Amino acid sequence: MILTAICVSGFSLLSVAALAADNNYQFDEIAQLNHAQSESADWLQLLTIPNNGQQYFVINKRGQMFLVDDGLKQPHPVLELSDNQSQEPLFIQLTAIELHPNFTLRDQLGYGTFYTAHLETFDKKTTSKRLQERNGELTLKFDAVITEWQFNSVNYQKVDLNTKREILRIAVPEDSVTIKQMSFNPYTQSWDDGFGLLYIALNGQEKWQKPLYSGVVLRINPAKFGFRNFTVPLNNPYIKDSQIKDEIYLLGGHHIRQFIWPDKNSDNILLAHRYKNKFLLSLTDGHNDWREHPPKKIFYQGDTAITDMLAYRGRNLPHLRNKLLLLNQNNQRWFVGSLAAKLSVNQSRPVDHEPQPEWLFSPQQLNTDNEITFSADSNGEVLLLDKTAGVIFQISPKNTAANKPISRNITTEVQTESINRSYIIFIVLIIALLYWLKSNKFSAKAVVRKQFAHIELSESKQQIGLYHRHQSTTETIIDIANIICCEVALNEQVVNTVNQQAEQGFNHQKEQFLRDTFAKEQVNKMIDGKVRQVSLSITDTHKKSFTVCLYMRKGSDRITKKSYTLVIDELIDWCWLIAEKINAGATEQRKKKPIITITSADVAKKNQNKMPLHSQAAAIRPATHAVEKSSLSSAAPLAKEQPSEKETNQRGDVNNRNHNSTTVDTELVNALEKLVNLKQQGFLTQEEFTKAKEKLLQNLFDQ
Residue ranges covered by each domain of the chain: 4-402, 407-445, 451-586, 613-631+641-702
Q: Which residues of the chain have pLDDT under 70?
A: 1-24, 35-41, 53, 71-73, 83-88, 341-353, 399-421, 435-444, 593-666, 679-683, 699-703
pLDDT at 293: 85
pLDDT at 419: 63
pLDDT at 5: 34
DSSP 238: T
| Edge-to-edge strand list for the sheet holding 324-330 | 4-6, 306-311, 324-330, 333-339, 356-361
Q: How far apart are CA 264 and CA 158, in angstroms?
A: 33
Contacts 24+ apart (CB under 8 A), 119-123: 119/92, 119/93, 119/95, 119/143, 119/144, 119/145, 119/172, 119/175, 119/178, 119/179, 120/85, 120/89, 120/90, 120/91, 120/92, 120/145, 121/88, 121/89, 121/90, 121/92, 122/89, 122/171, 123/88, 123/89
Please name the fold of domain 4-402.
Neuraminidase (2.120.10)
pTM greater than 0.85: no
Kindly list the distances between the CA atom of residue 434 and the CA atoms of 311, 424, 426, 565, in Å, as whole numbers in the listed order: 41, 15, 12, 36
pLDDT at 659: 44
DSSP 352: S
pLDDT in tens, 271-317: 999 888 888 888 888 888 898 888 888 888 877 777 788 989 888 88
pLDDT at 640: 37
Q: Do the beta carbons of residue 698 and residue 639 sit within 8 Å?
A: yes
Radius of gyration of the chain (CA): 36
Angle, CA 294 vertex, CA 288 and CA 295 arms, to 5° = 55
| Edge-to-edge strand list for the sheet holding 76-80 | 43-48, 55-60, 64-69, 76-80
Q: How far apart are the first and last CA of the chain?
A: 76
pLDDT at 196: 93
Residue (of 335, 376, 382) closest to 46 by Cα position = 376
Contacts 24+ apart (CB under 8 A), 318-322: 319/23, 320/358
- Residue 681 half-sphere exposure toward CB, CA atoms < 13 A: 12
CA 91, 92, 93, 98 torsion-angle sign: negative
pLDDT at 692: 81
